[in-house]
Amino acid sequence: MESSVGIVEKQYFTFAAPPEKFILESGAELGPITIAYETYGTLNKNKNNAILLAHAFSGDSHVAGHYATDKDGEKPGWWDFLIGPGKGIDTNKYFVICPNILGSCMGSTGPSSINPDTGSPYGLDFPMMTIGDMVITQKALVDYLEITQLRAVIGGSVGGMQVLEWCVRYPGMVQAALPIATTMRHSALAIAFNEIARQSIMADPNWANGNYYGGDRPNMGLAVARMVGHVTYLSDEAMRRKFGRRLQDKESFSFGFDGDFQVESYLRHQGSKFVHRFDANSVLYITKASDYFDVVDQMGASGPLKGDPSLKIKYLVVSYSSDWLYPTYQAKELVQTLKRSGQDVSFCEIEADCGHDAFLVPDNRLTLLLKGFIDGISSN
């Protein structure tokens, strides 16, 4: 019988306190570092039933259940339909961990955090980080939980990049990997959209070179960045079905710039919501980290997985037919690369017309796919 994980609580893990600061891939030092995370289910005696979930770029650690402060069960976790007793990722069987990524503003250390050296938010003094840095901090959390092997690492979009990074950096810890709606490296198109988002933020007069925390924030630039992102998350068919050319609360054109069309109103609404929950500088850092990400060579025949049977990882690569941000051809390139390196790879393209965000939409096909795959992994 399926049910919710119920009331959950965000937890925090802090490490790398001076003088033992964390050295990032850029060579910069950072510390102390706090990682916000949530867990669901119970870690078994052998500590071999843990699953790590990696969230997308603007997501957070709240992947299932509700907080005690929520009203009437509002604001469930972003994958609540998938995680819980009897669900696709069954918390009666598995211990699920979801950390908030480094550089975010949802509990983990990022540019909006207080710099202990100055007593003020880091702003642009926060060092540039990578997807690899995010995964290394997640590894520190897993070590803190005294878990030496993960049954599976699962994530979509930027979360899928973290999944692949886990496989490259810590192949001996990962039994199975489920990268969903993701890529081995950004295309020029994806980088271009990220750059438009960054430039819209930096062009806002309130951005103040990242030092806006004591005054007006770059809300207009951040809202436009979110609007751009939402266009890439949808598909032509989804937008046609949802909006078409329908007008918003009017019968004729205004012959002005008030926003005549429903799609205009929708994008403005999404931008307005986003500025109240996310930090503009975090958008800059996380999008840049995703643009830097490139594991083509590491996942291939010359990578760390080749030739060592003890490092075999079972993969399930999932793509969506209408995803034009990370199209299916990129998922197939990942599958071919993994096969050439001798890995055990399954692949599924799910037919869906809602674009890149399809992996966040309740879909019984994804639920059954993940459930069958995870339950079929042999425990060590």
Active-site positions? 157, 323, 356
- Distance of alpha carbon 184 from the chain centroid: 14
Gap between the Cα atoms of 153 and 174, Å rounded: 7
Listing DSSP states for 284-350 in one string gives: HHHHHHHHH-B-HHHHSTTSTTTT-GGG--EEEEEEETT-SSS-HHHHHHHHHHHHHTT-EEEEEEE
According to DSSP, the residues that pair with 7 across neighbouring strands are: 66
The dihedral sign for the CA sequence 224, 229, 232, 237: negative
Q: What stretches of the chain adopt beta strand conformation (E)?
A: 11-15, 22-23, 29-30, 33-40, 50-54, 83-84, 89-90, 95-99, 114-115, 120-121, 152-156, 176-180, 314-320, 344-350
